[in-house]
Amino acid sequence: MIMDREQTTKKTTVSDVPKSLTLYVVFSIVVLIVYTIVEQILSMTSGMTHDTLTTCIFAAFGGEILACALIKIFKLKTKEEMINE
């Protein structure tokens, strides 16, 4: 049985990108929520806040969400341009 070349090679489609990016976005949001809850509990019990650490955590994971959004936008835009041509 001889298969066509199209059937044997797997092409990356637009639907493959959001699945992997969704995992990163969900992970980032969960980390931010868990960190916020833990930080609130620690600051209430000890009376000490961690301002610099909080800024760094939110900058890192917020930047990750922004990067995922930009990747998705430019991937979709590229695929749409290819379809229109």
How do the pLDDT tens digits run along the chain, 85 residues long?
Answer: 455 555 555 555 555 555 778 888 999 999 999 999 999 999 999 999 999 999 999 999 999 999 988 888 888 776 666 677 6
CA distance 25 to 44: 29
Distance between CA atoms of 9 and 25, rounded to whole angstroms? 29
Please tell me the predicted confidence (pLDDT) of residue 22.
85
The pTM of this model reads: 0.66
Token readout for 49 is 């806040």
- C-beta separation of 72 from 14 below 8 A: no
Q: In Å, how far are 20, 28, 30, 44, 77 from 70, measured between CA atoms?
A: 14, 15, 20, 37, 10
Q: What is the pLDDT of residue 24?
A: 87
